[in-house]
Structure 1
């Protein structure tokens, strides 16, 4: 795909927050139209930022685990039944937002407050070509270690802002948060500060939201801030409180948000058509003015080009949202076809209707699956 964009000078800095377990279900701004009675939000800062951002309110993760989120968001490679990142095929040349940024002369860095090498991020980050990695080792202050996963989000986000302030623009940096994770604790000094809900995760989600607010307080005083595009997205979903989010497709429902203090990027409004983590990379390549071809199964969410959505993920069976229908495909046969609003898979239309649209949807799903397998196995991801 090619997205042509003129006059993107100076190039924007790009900052991506991949927020651990930050399901769509926890955020008010993303649930205005879900008709959940007495909905409660646990993300006041995120909700306020959303009012000044371009948000996708009908967005889905392309995988189930943190490392799947990393490959989907940064490289536009989803996880099917078998995880790409743990397969022998992951170690190949991969075009991604990292390679695009490197190609354009950006400084590229990845931040994750966990012990270096944990969760496979460092290894996959090397494959993607990040020039710098900042983990618990580089942070170098175990007083801020949560005892299990990594450095608490609030101090690590401050370190993130300060480290970015030492870099020459343009830079592209990714922060993978750690605190909203089992066993769902917050620092002792914040006992009682964040709203506790019916789920254990609600309190640490409030803490990470607060850490984000503190990050922006620090960052907006810095010279690079004004010309930066910020992206926020969950890696995957987690605990569920509302029956609406128990539905099979909603188990992948995540928030996606693009924000920039610079009005020239025009990142405002709401996208209500189905979107996915895989759309983030082409959107950023477009906004950065890459102007060369990219390999992408997602689409730019800010392009004038009309592109149809093809959303894909897997809960053991591959799930596709194409047009007005959801298709379940086991690699050989379709096992279910459902209307787009039947997120709980209650009324299987397989064999009951066979319109041209359904036939075309089946063809597209099979063609996509074939293309994915071909590119992954024959090392054509660059």
Structure 2
């Protein structure tokens, strides 16, 4: 039976309207590349077009998801499809969900530089505990007004082109039976076409495509973020958790590769005070003392105080964060629990007994405090701190002076650091104080009267790094006058990295490079250690330093005395794990190893996977064993042993 001619016209218009979405997704991808070209490393226009071709499967899935109701209403076997009022209904059913999804692509024009991966549903973890969501959105729209304008322009053009082609209105259907049969055939064909499109094509027989598949055809990990679109990334992670048990090997074999329980007996038990600074976005590349061995042309440091302190400290210039967000950093540093695809603190599993730096120090009679100058509860730190067992939480409420509010996040670093100093003065000790700073963060503002005091640099964050460095200087100057200062171990690190200025730090494996610094006033910890280090090593190192005399759960190692654990780092980005150890870097997507690279090849340019050696095989097994033990302990609630 021939398809009714009126239905043919409707189908042609339907295909035209859907094709517009593909065109504008391509435009969004062009803009995404334009804004982030220095991080995406595309060699030619041809390569970009090839990546855009691979992206069609991911665009199809996102567009069809958002257009399901529109497609259904466009082909449903009724006789009113072509009437003006019905077409107006279709207009809104088409654009409301599609434009909401499309807008997320524009968020990643900017946000990608901060998290170095396409936005997923996990980004809302960062906002869950924020009370000023609307203000943050307004600040983003004002500061990055051009992105908002580009979205409005694309939206306007999309609507204009949509309205240019209209369905011919049908006044009378000659054969209702032919119309109905045609509609049924069209409905069946469309149904199967949509299923195929959402699943990612006819070749995906076992499962729908997911974000990991974006790297299937790419030679560079970061190219997967070009292939992906943000709506797809959000949709595919909605309502899902990456916390699932994996089994790469027999559980008995895991222990031969992973040392997840530590016990150090080198140092005699002591009870010094401990002050840990987790500095917001304090990337290694901003700090001169951590770049003395590099060959970066015209390198400029923005941290004169930390550079001077480093001359009297033990520093680790080859250290890396285990995640890309603040909520990742806290669990990694304090509890030695890294976060990968999703934040551990936002998973179903943080509400369990967790052995951590806090619980260990509490057991030794320490007074434990968490300082964060933001609104109490921001970032979920208060809740997670309670799970870990901090005795005290000091936030904006305890500071109790809104005159020092920065207008966005919290109290400026300089006065809040002094508030911590005054609070510590009242404690008898020994105490453990964690300070999470706020000022070196978007929107990168300075307190009134500090404009022009710090070098502007080439990135917006550089001035605020200078300000926080100054706040650290003022803290140390004032604290050095207090009796508790001489009996204190100070640690400085970062929660994650931020804006990148130098090419060396744009290389994939260097994008999580952070500082780790240990300082004691008697300078018993001093020097430069170039071995691999990571955030999860801080917890066991502190316990080693104080001579903690019990076994404790830790995937990290003491950076001072560990003779058992092999130095390594692990984090997650561009849909894959990056594992560094020995002479190699491994990229692993959770199912299979996608690449081996020389440890010096931080840009992951030359894949050595076809030249696998015994050392590579061992490193692969340790990477898999780590992940198997990691998910097993978290899911089966064995984080207390």
TM-score range, shorter chain: over 0.9
Give the alignment partner of residue 553 of structure 2, picking from 291, 295, 305: 295
Aligned to 1:337: 596
Instruction: After superposition, give the CA deviation of every residue in 1:4-62 in whole Å (9 maximum; x if it has no partner).
Output: 144334x1101000000010010000001111011000000000000100000000000
Aligned to 2:392: 132
Which ranges in structure 1 are unaligned for 5 or more consecutive residues? none
Give the alignment partner of residue 276 of structure 1, picking from 529, 534, 556: 534
Give the alignment partner of residue 417 of structure 2, picking from 139, 150, 157: 157
Counterparts of 1:6 and 1:175 in 2: how far apart (Å)?
A: 26
Q: If each structure's strand is expressed as a fraction of its own residues, which one has the higher value? A: 1
Contact 1:15–1:230 (Cα < 8 Å) also in 2: yes
Aligned to 1:187: 447
Contact 1:279–1:299 (Cα < 8 Å) also in 2: yes
The answer on 1:354 being equivalent to 2:612 is yes
Counterparts of 1:202 and 1:35 in 2: how far apart (Å)?
A: 20
Spell out the pairing of 1:189-268 with structure 2 (5 A cutoff): 189-263=449-523, 266-268=524-526
Could you list the runs of 4 or more consecutive aligned residues of structure 1 that deviate by over 2 angstroms after TM superposition? 5-9, 304-307
Instruction: After superposition, give the CA deviation of every residue in 1:64-111 in whole Å (9 maximum; x if it has no partner).
Output: 100100000111111112221110011111111111100111000000
Greater CA drift, 320-329 or 300-309: 300-309
TM-score by length of 1: 0.97
Aligned to 2:87: none
Counterparts of 1:114 and 1:355 in 2: how far apart (Å)?
A: 50
Spell out the pairing of 1:140-151 with structure 2 (5 A cutoff): 140-151=400-411
Counterparts of 2:563 and 2:522 in 1: how far apart (Å)?
A: 23
How far off its partner does 1:329 sit? 1.0
How far off its partner does 1:168 sit? 1.3
Counterparts of 2:361 and 2:557 in 1: how far apart (Å)?
A: 18
SS at match of 2:397: helix
Counterparts of 1:5 and 1:272 in 2: how far apart (Å)?
A: 22
Aligned to 2:631: 373
The answer on 1:26 being equivalent to 2:286 is yes
Q: If each structure's helix is expressed as a fraction of its own residues, which one has the higher value? A: 2
SS at match of 2:510: helix
Counterparts of 1:7 and 1:139 in 2: how far apart (Å)?
A: 37
Contact 2:361–2:432 (Cα < 8 Å) also in 1: yes
Instruction: After superposition, give the CA deviation of every residue in 1:345-369 in whole Å (9 maximum; x if it has no partner).
Output: 101111x212111111111111111
Aligned to 2:268: 7
Counterparts of 2:541 and 2:607 in 1: how far apart (Å)?
A: 34
1:359–1:304: structure 2 CA closer, same or farther, 3 Å change rule?
Answer: closer
How far off its partner does 1:304 sit? 5.7
Counterparts of 1:296 and 1:251 in 2: how far apart (Å)?
A: 24
Contact 2:287–2:306 (Cα < 8 Å) also in 1: yes
Aligned to 1:111: 371
RMSD: 1.0
Aligned to 1:96: 356
TM-score by length of 2: 0.58
Counterparts of 1:53 and 1:36 in 2: how far apart (Å)?
A: 23
The answer on 1:324 being equivalent to 2:583 is yes
Which ranges in structure 2 are unaligned for 5 or more consecutive residues? 1-261
SS at match of 1:229: strand
Contact 2:269–2:549 (Cα < 8 Å) also in 1: no
Counterparts of 1:133 and 1:307 in 2: how far apart (Å)?
A: 34
Instruction: After superposition, give the CA deviation of every residue in 1:195-245 in whole Å (9 maximum; x if it has no partner).
Output: 110100000000000000000011000011001000000100000111111
Instruction: After superposition, give the CA deviation of every residue in 1:232-290 in whole Å (9 maximum; x if it has no partner).
Output: 00100000111111111111000110001034xx2111110110001000000111111
Contact 1:5–1:291 (Cα < 8 Å) also in 2: no
Counterparts of 2:268 and 2:611 in 1: how far apart (Å)?
A: 49
Instruction: After superposition, give the CA deviation of every residue in 1:143-169 in whole Å (9 maximum; x if it has no partner).
Output: 000010000000000001110010111
Counterparts of 2:299 and 2:453 in 1: how far apart (Å)?
A: 20
Contact 1:185–1:204 (Cα < 8 Å) also in 2: yes
Contact 1:2–1:292 (Cα < 8 Å) also in 2: yes
How far off its partner does 1:305 sit? 2.6
Contact 1:324–1:339 (Cα < 8 Å) also in 2: yes
Give the alignment partner of residue 38 of structure 1, picking from 298, 302, 318: 298
Counterparts of 1:293 and 1:122 in 2: how far apart (Å)?
A: 27
Greater CA drift, 302-311 or 107-116: 302-311
Counterparts of 2:431 and 2:580 in 1: how far apart (Å)?
A: 34
Counterparts of 2:621 and 2:387 in 1: how far apart (Å)?
A: 33
Aligned to 1:63: 323
Contact 2:413–2:468 (Cα < 8 Å) also in 1: yes
